Structure 1
Amino acid sequence: MFPLPLDAPPPSPPVPHPAALIPGPAPAPDSTPFPEQAPATDSTTAAGDPAPCPGPARTPAARLRSLLPTRSPAAARRFRLALTLLPLVLLAAWAAVDWRTVYDGAVRLASADLRWLLAGVVFTALCSVAAACVRQGAVPERLPPGQLLATQFAAGAAGHALPGNIGAHAVVLRFLRGRGIPLARVTASLALYSAVKPVAKTLVILAFVVAFPGSLRLAELLPEGETLALAGTITAVSLAAVLTLITTVRPLRRPLIGGLRTALTDTRLVHSRPARALALWGGAAAFPLCQGAVVASVGSSLGLPVSWPQTLFAYLVASTAAGAVPAPGGLGPLDAALVFTLVAFGAPATLAATTVIGYRVLTVWLPLLPGTLVLSALVRAKVL
């Protein structure tokens, strides 16, 4: 190295290339966290505190759905096919268990008058029409008549599979939810439907008592004092238990009060429309009359020595007494009560039992297979 002369100028800095003077995009910040800020693998931080969850908190239903496996379209089709075939499987199982009743009823009805049996079939079909009127009257929205009637026909088949008419309510709930009605209002509609039917039946019974005071034999149909006292005690204890449960359990009280408010609002709205109120109360009064007309038609085909008003009143009383027993479709309690009331009106026990079996064949077994097929078709068509 040679020393620079004292009079030499200092070296100039290097001249940058012109392309380097053009500003480029800002580099992206480094997203790699520092070692001390690395995220923990569990739900706690280094200090032991719960780590904050990024994003909005998920509801319990969303967390539950995240735990379930995602269904593919093929799995969804298989699931719907299983739902379509399930009613047919239940029908076959029920037929295998209760085949003797169907066979005996068919044999005994072979000698009956065919014209009266056809009249019973017509009244059985009118039962679905009356039930559809009640369902339409229980909601303010207008429902498609064809789908409503088909749904109610299918609900009649489903109602015989579970006690308390739960199967029918489940079918109607799916139908109303598919029409875009909120769940709270659907529940209010089902509650209104269940409350109106016994009230309308009681009014019909009172009308029969006023119209036929001398031919109904009320003294023979009334239960004994001990039985009546026991029924009253059970009813009072049940109501007291329900009221105590509602008033003491806060998580149960709030949704019940909210549902009651929704039901009262929809009830006022329905009764403000004369067409809805007529469908609601007219259908609820016509349904037990159509059922009783089926019994009377079968009895007329067999020569039952009981008049039509007495047979209708016998069905009204028997169905009211059997309604407290949670049996599938009323099977069992209604049959026994109906035989008892027909015998009280002067019918022979054997002929009364044959009439009840014929009534069951027309109202349960005859529409069960078509109703099951309609239910499967509605599920496959995604109406339910």
Structure 2
Amino acid sequence: MDRRLRLAVVTETFPPEVNGVSLSLAKLLEGIGPFCDWQLVRVNRHDLEAPMPDELRMAGFPIPGYARLRGGFPAWIGLRRAWIKQRPDLVHIATEGPLGLSALQTARSLQIPVCSDFRTHFEQYVDHYKLAWLEPLASAYLRYFHNHCQLNFVPTEMLSKQLKAQGFERLAVVPRGVDLARFGPQHRDEGLRAAWLGNGGRRLDPNKVPVLICVSRMAAEKNLEVLLQAYRAAKQSGSPARLVMVGDGPMRAGLERDYPEALFVGMKTGLDLSRHYASADLFCFPSQSETFGNVILEAMASALPVLAYRHGASAALLQDQEHGWILRDFSPSAFHDALKTALDAWATPGHSTWQAMGEKILAIAKTQSWDSVVELMLSHWYALAFPTVKAKAPHESFAHSQQL
């Protein structure tokens, strides 16, 4: 079929905002450009350049604690006007906020096929913010939202099974990809590593001091104090390890004050972020609220063994003791014990345990290309937009996943 898909993509976060949703969505849209025409519907910001011809910007509101983020107000009138004037074949909604809900309702009222991503466990966030009473409402809202979509994309089989058990319908698994040109061991920077290991003018031996790194938004739902407390215990027991915390967020100032033994370097992007990953030795990630965790893939591409709970990407891609320390026990004490075990393993001659894990984990990362993700998404989108036509998108081949 020669018909070209017209796709409207609705999101309440997009670059220059830095988070897993915005960056992975931007990478996906970059990949689909040659194969369909897409319109971006996003929240307006004062620091954006002039919009592209195919971009709609909607009014938004500040999100407390996140100076760089804005939520989107409902936009029924604006969306209806735009989509009547130029009707998309399909609406894809990346976020379930007020703007996303208004897009869902508008698309359904105009009988435009609509699909969505399940990207964030918002119902789990409320507990971290002492709003546990909201959890049933958040769960009910997410179920309502996604069950009114014709298809919902999730990144792992495990998450698909969990959501199906909770009453979510029409789920399709589409994994995430990683940019292997951007992330990789080739970006290792010994000068940066030496700067991390400085200690009042005295340089520590980089061959004797393992560098642990965590890349994360610094917010309550990321569970970062579990890592920081485990690191403190390791230091108190005599470990020379250095912990580098990359990221920003509402908890950064408090964590930096309470854990001075760790090095907080702020948010990093582009090549600077690549250098930070590649110059470390072990990636530590204590979050239990991820649907996937793109940072896991970025660390894997950088050939770093991983210490994480068995959740999201680590559960889907990694094996305990093969690729790092992947914990089925979700307690803080299990994380503490695993960090101690990992640091003990560093002492093997030539750090051979960590090195072997890094080589295995890099091999897996090399199978997680964005090209395959783009191909799979396009196949689903074309099937939704043109269900009565046996056709494929203008792409050489498509791998079809089973709808669950």
Please, what TM-score do these two structures have when normalized by structure 1? 0.26
Higher RCO, 1 vs 2 (CA within 8 Å, ≥6 residues apart): 1
Larger Rg: 1
Please, what TM-score do these two structures have when normalized by structure 2? 0.25
